[in-house]
Amino acid sequence: MSNTCLSTISRRASILGSLSLWLLLPPMNSFADLTVSYITIQRQAGFTSERAYAGKTLPSRSSELGFKRGGEIAQVLVDIGDVVQKGQTLARLDSQTLTANVNQAEANVALAMANLSAAKAEAQLAANTERRFRRLREQGNTSKQLYDEAKLNFQSKKAQYEVAQANVKRAQAAANATNIALAEAAIQAPFNGIIQSRYMDEGTQILGGTPALKLIEVGPIKAHIGIPSASKASLTINQTYSIRWNDIEQSAQLTAISPEVDPNTRTLNAVFKIPANTIPIGAVVELLLAQQVASPGFWVPVSALTASDRGLWGVYVVNPENIIERRLVEIIHNEAARAYVRGLLTDRERLVSSGVQRIVPGQSVLPIRANENVNAGR
């Protein structure tokens, strides 16, 4: 068979196949309208917005500890993370000289006390002698010279006794001072807690008042959060509120609000008590507060929104004739899956809730009610 005949047969087969396929297709007016899901929107008087205010957690009590006097550090008895008890010795200075001073001062006190005892005995003896010679003089049984000598001796012994008393007081004061100096050569924990920082090691020369350790109290922690002055009226002391950290919400009790606005942040400092071992110290946390916003509008699913010009958004509604219409809206507030909008919408309209990329204004559709309730919630 020639190539010409084969070509003719092929063209005829192609035409017959196309004709058969065309005959099998339904007429154009037999296509069903596009099916779309819709929800019925409801006008709202306003919405509840959750505002978050940031702050930081701190220990209920903390103290940077140092020696009251300077010297060389002989011992650091704790390290970071150690749990300590109130009154526990945490570090000591080299106190050999101070200990020697204390021993000498105590010896001086003992010597002064012995001298005082001797001076007291001599003064008492001189007093008795002076009284005896005074009686004898009154009776005419002794001379004026002997009486005067007894009197002068008593006055001298009395003065020596008074000096001995003063010496004891000075020795005791010196001993007290050396004991205080020895005590100041040690750091003791002022409360139960955990060592958070250690700044010095043995052998370090340190000045008096320089921090050597930082101690934080064991137990509940505090969150200091700056809030606007306008939010103060919505908070109540001793009430619990929600604190968020790392997407985890934790209840916290409000214990205080500062009466004055911070000049730098223009906020009030709100202090919350948080249970121990729930949020780490130094963490950034957020106070979550619900705020009522009076603004008429509608809740719509985020899936119903389409971008438009001039910062506006568009939504599609199904009119009573089941024809698609487009409306411009402004987003006032948005959440995870829904947005609060205002615009050219009316109450109880049918809003296309999904598949908005498949429709255009003027299109005839078959609307099917969706199960979602976008108006529920806050």
The 10 Å Cβ neighbour count of residue 338 is 20
For the full predicted model, state whether its pTM sits above 0.75. no
Taking residue 282's Cβ as centre, other Cβ atoms within 10 Å add up to: 11
pLDDT score for 364: 95
Strand partners, 63: 215
Question: Three-state DSSP class for 203?
Answer: coil
The residue written with tokens 């929600």 in the block is 242
Place of tokens 């007093």: 127
The 3-state DSSP class for residue 261 equals: coil
Contacts of 48 (CB under 8 A, 6+ apart): 290, 291, 292, 293, 378
- Name the nearest CA neighbour of 254 among 233, 269, 239: 239
Contact criterion met (CB below 8 Å) for 63 and 215 = yes
pLDDT of residue 143: 87
Burial (0-12, 13-18, 19+ Cβ within 10 Å), 30? exposed
Residue 323 region by backbone torsions, left for phi larger than 0, else alpha for psi between -120 and 50, else beta: beta
| pLDDT of amino acid 1 | 39
In the numeric block, the tokens 């220990």 are attached to: 59
Longest CA–CA span in the chain (Å) reads 187
Residues 212, 216: Cα–Cα separation, whole Å? 14
Structure tokens at 316: 């599609």
Reduced to 3 states (helix: H, G, I; strand: E, B; else coil), residue 187 is strand
Determine the pLDDT at residue 240: 94
Ranges of residues in the chain whose predicted pLDDT is under 50: 1-31
Q: What is the pLDDT of residue 278?
A: 87
Angle formed at CA 316 by CA 33 and CA 365, multiple of 5 degrees: 10
Find the radius of gyration of the CA atoms of the chain.
Answer: 48
> CA-CA distance, 176 to 178, in Å (whole number)?
6
* Amino acid letter for position 170: R
Structure tokens belonging to residue 127: 């007093």
338: tokens are 């829904």
CB atoms within 10 A of CB 252: 26
- Report pLDDT for 105: 85
Supply the pLDDT for residue 10: 40
Distances from the Cα of 269 to the Cα of 248, 253, 257, 262, 281, angstroms: 22, 14, 6, 8, 18
